[in-house]
């Protein structure tokens, strides 16, 4: 208890000092801001938030309103293994740069802002879930990057929504190639059988409604392979929540 009081006192002092040494800047262009995390008005205009109307299954934005519950051609032709997908933004311009900054430049300071946008976009998926699981990295890739961006987003969402967080309940059993530059079929083959729920974690997943968190959705190969592993372990349902998704051609 004594140390908690010490740390709280230090954080109250360190907060203002930290803001003087590292003043808040825009997550996009680096311009000075009054508060962080945030983006400036100019960068804000470059973001494409995904709002209704969109496909109720794939979260794919429509250019015009076709009515509540309408599904995209992709969802009808190739129904996904997960129950629903929600994304905060279209994967382009600043959204893509934010993902790259978090993933490759250790910009962990972006997590609160990105997670807040994901929570807003994923209200339905969050309400339908009771366990948050991030898409895992293979151990070797985790050692190179030092942290898993999907796990940091998932942790922030679980904490804010007061949901159980289970980062160890899904494991990447083998190393896979980067999905960047691969076609849809290559992506699916690359991650086929790549995930598993460890036997010791099966009780954590069985019968639970899982919110699977990742940073980006493109073809859906990764989250589909992860969903299959969770469902094989007895998950009652899997919803997917990502920061950004491609505007079309996902599926």
Per-position DSSP letters for 124-160, written without gaps between them: HHHHT-SEEEEPPPPHHHHHHHSS-HHHHHHHHHHHH
- Rounded CA gap, 160 and 36, in Å? 18
Average pLDDT over residues 164-189: 73
Does residue 208 lie within any of the structural domains?
A: yes
- Please check whether residues 43 and 65 belong to one and the same domain: no
Helices and strands (H, E) in the chain, number of each type = 11, 7
- Please check whether residues 207 and 143 belong to one and the same domain: yes
- Please check whether residues 31 and 108 belong to one and the same domain: no
- Please check whether residues 31 and 145 belong to one and the same domain: no
Residue 91 has pLDDT above 90, yes or no: yes
| Domains held by the chain: number | 2
- Please check whether residues 169 and 156 belong to one and the same domain: yes
- For residues 9 and 225, the model is more confident at 225
What range does the domain containing 23 cover? 19-47
- Please check whether residues 192 and 148 belong to one and the same domain: yes
**214 and 187 Cβ atoms separated by less than 8 Å:** no
Sheet harboring 209-217: ordered strands across? 84-90, 237-245, 209-217, 131-134, 164-165
Closest by CA position to 226, among listed 183, 187, 200 = 187
- Rounded CA gap, 74 and 220, in Å? 11
- Please check whether residues 23 and 86 belong to one and the same domain: no
Does residue 13 lie within any of the structural domains?
A: no
Residue 46 has pLDDT above 70, yes or no: yes
Residue 54's pLDDT band, with cuts at 50, 70 and 90, is: very high
Estimate to the nearest angstrom the gap between the alpha carbon of 131 and the chain centroid: 14
Residue 132's pLDDT band, with cuts at 50, 70 and 90, is: very high
- Please check whether residues 64 and 33 belong to one and the same domain: no
Residue 63's pLDDT is 84
Quick one: which H or E segment has residue 123?
Answer: helix 123-127
Does residue 10 lie within any of the structural domains?
A: no
pLDDT in tens, 137-148: 876 666 676 779
**115 and 157 Cβ atoms separated by less than 8 Å:** yes
- The CATH code of the domain that includes 119 is 3.40.50.2020
- Please check whether residues 41 and 53 belong to one and the same domain: no
pLDDT in tens, 196-219: 999 999 999 999 999 999 999 998
């Amino acid at each position: 208890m004594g140390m908690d009081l010490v740390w709280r006192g230090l954080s109250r002092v360190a907060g203002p000092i930290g803001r003087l040494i590292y003043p808040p800047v825009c997550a996009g262009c680096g311009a000075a801001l009054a508060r962080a995390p945030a983006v400036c008005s100019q960068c804000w205009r470059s973001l494409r938030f995904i709002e209704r109307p969109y496909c109720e299954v794939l979260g794919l934005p429509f250019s015009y309103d076709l009515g509540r519950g309408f599904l995209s051609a992709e969802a009808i032709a190739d129904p996904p293994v997960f129950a629903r997908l929600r994304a905060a933004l279209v994967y382009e311009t600043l959204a893509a740069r934010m993902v790259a900054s978090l993933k490759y430049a250790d910009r962990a300071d972006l997590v609160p802002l990105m997670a807040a946008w994901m929570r807003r976009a994923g209200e339905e998926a969050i309400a339908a879930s009771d366990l948050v699981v991030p898409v895992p990295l293979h151990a070797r890739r985790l050692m190179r990057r030092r942290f898993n961006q999907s796990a940091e987003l998932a942790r922030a969402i679980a904490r804010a929504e007061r949901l159980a967080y289970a980062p160890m309940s899904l494991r990447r059993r083998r190393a896979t190639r980067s999905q960047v530059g691969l076609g849809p079929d290559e992506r699916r083959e690359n991650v086929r059988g790549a995930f598993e729920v460890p036997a010791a974690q099966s009780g954590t997943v069985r019968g639970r409604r899982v919110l699977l968190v990742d940073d980006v959705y493109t073809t859906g190969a990764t989250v589909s392979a992860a969903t299959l592993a969770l469902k094989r372990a007895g998950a009652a349902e899997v919803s997917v929540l990502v920061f950004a998704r491609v505007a079309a051609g996902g599926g």
